[in-house]
Amino acid sequence: MKKNKKFINFVFSLYKPVKCLALVMVFSMMLSQIFDLIKQYIIKGIIDLPSNPNFQITDLYKVVGILMIVIILELIFYYISNITRTIHMVKKQTPYISEKLFNNLDKKGYPFFVDNFSGKISSSINEVNNEITDLNTRITTGFISLLTSMISSLIILYTIDFKIFITALILFGGIIVTRLIYFSKRYLPLVQKAQETSREYNGILNDAVLNFTSLKVYSAVEDFSKTLKIKKEDSNFYKNKASSREFTYGAIANVIYIITFAVLLLYSINLFGNNLMTLGNFIFFINAMISLKSSTTSFTWSYIHIGEIFVKLKNCYDLLYNEANSNDDNKNSIIINNGTIKFDNVSFKYTKSYVFQNFNLEVKEKQKIGIIGVSGSGKTTLVNLLFKFYSPQNGKILIDGKNINDYSTRSLYENLTYVPQETILLHSTIYENIKIAKPDASYEEIINAAKKAELHNFIESLDDKYNTIVGERGIKLSGGQRQRIALARIFLRNSKIVIFDEATSSLDNNTEFKIQQNIHKYFNNQTIICIAHRLSTLKDMDYIIVIDNGTIIDTGTPKAIIPKYDKVDFLSSESEDKNVHC
Ligand SMILES: Nc1ncnc2c1ncn2[C@@H]1O[C@H](COP(=O)(O)OP(=O)(O)OP(=O)(O)O)[C@@H](O)[C@H]1O
Ligand SMILES: [Mg+2]
């Protein structure tokens, strides 16, 4: 219950910047429908007017004049509602939703992005936007206008004949109530399943398109298309089942309607034949019965669609909001003056087996340490823990003697800089890609950072220079150029601790040497952790630690360590495992 309340609050929160507009949208639609009811009443009056013994043609002019005014008012309010919804609401609401949902991702921990397809996350954000726009349409043009039209038809029947009114009320009320019960019990769960499978399908499709080159070179496209086909069939299965249930119900409801309508027709013909019903009333009885039939069907469908929209919104909400948030902004901000790091008896596992058990490591202020070890030995995991991407099951990680768990992640990131093992860039310009490290950086700062990362000359050789678009994930640049963009970012920051995870692995020796020189020149006041497979990268470090299977198996100065492990191929965990121990 509390969960549902939170969800409803979430839906309301999406209307924050458009509260007044939403009211205008809803009330003008209601007014338009009320004028529609008045219009029908006037028409009924016009039909019966000539049978009045005192009828004069001027009366007809007057009534038709009023009818025209009512029609104009109905149209005006109808347009006000539609214009408010399709132009003003969309203009303000959808950008707000995109911003709000994207900002919320900041509260998610690293595992959220590891565990969910990126396509699933982005399609959820788009879905919320689409569903809310759809909800606005369904509520106004569907729910409210149909409800008002049904009530007006029933009022007309009430004024014609009480028995007809009661029968119609029971018939259409019954159809609506049973349909809605049937819908929530038998139809809605299928819609929910259909949406889950469809999102799964979108995630797989996005992932496949992102990795299309790999699928192509391994001739795996055909195989993969079969997986996609099966997923699509799964999602269609639930959709089709839901639709066939709805059609079966609709058919039964229609039979009941036809029988009841026939009986009422016979009854009203009888009344009309005995002069107990006027011609206007007789025409309006038939009109109201036909319009009630179509409006009850449309009304329940619009109710069903609104239900579907809520199911979809709830699914998105569960993914984007309900899953454990790692927002710790309420914690104190960490202030790092010295840049000492301590792993104190840390034990950590991603799933079943431990990557680290009682792991200890101390890095002093301004110390520069290198970490080597075979692939899979836990080097990147150390960075993941230091950045709070994951939390250790046991032990503490201290920076400047402060347990990082007690401080906000946001403040930690303001003090740490990291060049990751894999550089994925935004589909934007080189300039923008460097700038994300410091959004308020000046043009000169960006150029200087690019120079320090040995990137400036290359950028200048491009047709669009700093405005060159790097392509999706940076696909239009070489691995080394992408790495240098990531390196340029760290030269923009002034943090006490800098971590390099295979940051220069794709560079040629000469470029790597120059960048290493810049790192030592510009980061001489910082604590540096440098993970590398290529040992020459670490020759200027204060000391190097060797990790194997989550344990430090050796430590020493570069002079001592490099010759000792020079022959070990640190890119392979399989073949060289033995060598590390030697
Ligand atoms: N998100 C994850 N979920 C589950 N297991 C993981 C995850 N990330 C890494 N691992 C596992 O943890 C172990 C350590 O991985 P880690 O990335 O720290 O190795 P590494 O030393 O950085 O290797 P490399 O030199 O190849 O980069 C590996 O066995 C890896 O399979
Ligand atoms: Mg790694």
If asked whether residues 210 and 247 sit together in one domain, one would say yes
Task: Please indicate, yes or no, whether residues 156 and 108 belong to a single structural domain of this protein.
Answer: yes
How confident is the model at residue 26, as a pLDDT? 92
Residues 157 and 229 in one domain: yes
DSSP 136-149: HHIIIIIIIHHHHH
* Sequence-ordered list of residues with C-beta below 8 angstroms from that of 280, at least 6 positions apart, any chain: 44, 45, 46, 47, 48
Mutation probe of ligand 1 site: the residue of 379, 390, 546 with most atoms within 8 A of C-beta: 379
Same domain, 112 and 247: yes
Question: What is the predicted pLDDT for the residue at 570?
Answer: 57
Residue 342 has pLDDT above 50, yes or no: yes
**pLDDT at site 575:** 41
**Shared-domain flag, residues 126 and 272:** yes
Tens-place pLDDT, residues 434-466: 988 888 889 999 999 999 888 899 999 988 899
What is the mean predicted confidence (pLDDT) over 494-509?
A: 84
Q: Are 141 and 196 within one domain?
A: yes
Nearest ligand atom owner, CA of 420:
2
- Name the residue among 10, 43, 251 with its Cα closest to residue 132: 10
**Model confidence, pTM:** 0.70
Check pLDDT > 70 for residue 302.
yes
Give the orientation angle of helix 509-522 with respect to helix 443-452, to 10 degrees. 120
Specify the pLDDT at position 568.
66
**pLDDT per residue as tens digits for the range 232-281:** 898 889 889 988 887 888 888 888 888 888 888 898 888 888 888 888 88
pLDDT on residue 128: 93
| Number of Cβ within a 10 Å radius of residue 274 | 8
Pocket of ligand 1 (CB under 6 A): 114, 350-351, 355, 373, 375-381, 421
Task: Tell me the pLDDT band of 324, cut-offs 50, 70 and 90.
Answer: low
Most confident of 152-156, 172-176, 322-326, 390-394: 390-394
The answer to the question of residue 11 being in a domain is no
- Is residue 222 situated within a structural domain? yes
Residues 317 and 345 in one domain: no
Domain-terminating residue out of 290, 322, 354: 322
> Do 539 and 575 sit in the same domain of this protein?
yes
CATH number of the domain encompassing residue 247: 1.20.1560.10
Residues in the chain: 582
550: left (phi over 0), alpha (psi -120 to 50) or beta: left
Residue 49 lies in a domain: no
Question: How many independent structural domains does the chain possess?
Answer: 2
Which of 267, 288, 322 corresponds to the end of one domain? 322
pLDDT tens digits along 274-291: 888 888 888 888 888 888
Q: Which residue among 254, 289, 322 closes a domain?
A: 322
Are residues 312 and 355 part of one domain? no
| Confidence (pLDDT) at 328 | 74
How far apart are the CA of 567 and the centre of ligand 2, in A?
A: 20
Whether 250 and 379 map to the same domain: the answer is no
Specify if 468 maps to a domain.
no
| Section 314-319 average pLDDT | 88
Residue in 133, 450, 439, 132 with CA at minimum distance from that of residue 314? 132
Nearest alpha-carbon partner for 162 in 274, 292, 256, 170 = 170
> What residue's CA is closest to ligand 1, atom 11?
376
Domain CATH number, residue 514: 3.40.50.300
Residue 383 lies in a domain: yes
For residues 11 and 21, give the distance between their C-alpha atoms in angstroms, rounded to a whole number: 16
pLDDT bucket at 363, cuts 50 / 70 / 90: very high
Q: Determine, yes or no, domain membership for 208.
A: yes
pLDDT at 572 over 80: no
Domain containing residue 121: 87-322
Residues 203 and 144 in one domain: yes
Residue nearest (by alpha carbon) to ligand 1 atom 13: 376
